[in-house]
Amino acid sequence: MTETGMGIVNPGATEHPHRQIAAVLRGKIRRGEWAAGEQLPSIPAMASMFGVAKQTIQRTVDQLRIEGLLITKPGSGTYVRGSRRRLNRLSRGRYGAHRGYHSDLAARYRQHLTEVGRGTPPPEVADAFGVPDNTELVVRKYLVRTQDAAVEMGASWLLLKDAAGTGLERAESFGRPLYQEVEEITGRTYVTATDTLTARLPTREEAELLAIRSDTPVLHLLHVAYDQDHRPIEVAQATWPGPMTTLVEEYKVPAPRADTDPALYLE
């Protein structure tokens, strides 16, 4: 066994050395010994510390990057990534208890418009609107960043009959949630919405914009908002790096009814 200031590597163990080292580094991060933004020793330095080959340390770093604990900045080094982003109740958080602006989120995250104009939607968006795949729509694409990383990318799609020739086609921020701008411009009110969450591997564009490896899973959300006639007003997409994203769903559990037959729930 090789013992260092970092931990112990047992070459005879069933667990591969890079996984043993990953457990040691993971523990240091969880205990706060390495804080968010702190730079790790170089790969040759850690190889020397653990008495293993540099390739083993590289596999360790790759694994912890996939888990979302580390981030590598080209030409600079490897750093402890910031805390996970908590997705509280999916898109319901965008409307808020009072359908207003979330100043607490604005203080931690910065949304940057990356593209505004007209484009052909992906199939899932066309299907949600019930239009052919080649239908031209208005799209507003964005990237959300913290101080050290991109944490979300997404797009909002709108029908031309609702958004063409309006401020929704201009590359400008509104200082309030997009749905409020859409309601005012279109005269249509958001009444219901559905959220569909999928876990998958990223597209090339998603991997590049979110600065993750192509084998790092992402969470992808398709959000469809409807008016009082259940006609789609907006179809929005959002994609997050899976390992650094936590989904939290809070809900009330109803009290049991007096006339409930317990036999109905037995298999």
pTM equals 0.73
Q: Report d(CA 161, CA 267) in Å as an integer.
A: 51
pLDDT < 70 stretches in the chain? 1-8, 10-15, 82-109, 148, 258-267
Nearest by Cα to 166 from 137, 139, 180, 186? 186
Place of tokens 């009290």: 255
Quote the pLDDT of residue 244: 75
Classify each residue of 156-191 as buried b or exposed e, where b means 16 or more C-beta atoms within 10 Å of its C-beta.
Answer: bbbbeebbeeeebbeeeeeeebbbbbbbeebebebe
Predicted confidence at residue 261, as pLDDT, reads: 62
Report the C-alpha gap between 95 and 185 in whole angstroms: 17
Q: How high is the pLDDT of residue 127?
A: 97
Per residue in 168-204, pLDDT (tens digit) is 999 998 888 899 999 999 999 999 999 999 999 999 9
The neighbouring-strand residues paired with 85 are 245
* 235: exposed, middle or buried (Cβ count in 10 Å: 0-12, 13-18, 19+): buried
C-alpha span between 190 and 123 (Å, rounded):
23
**pLDDT for the residue 122:** 95
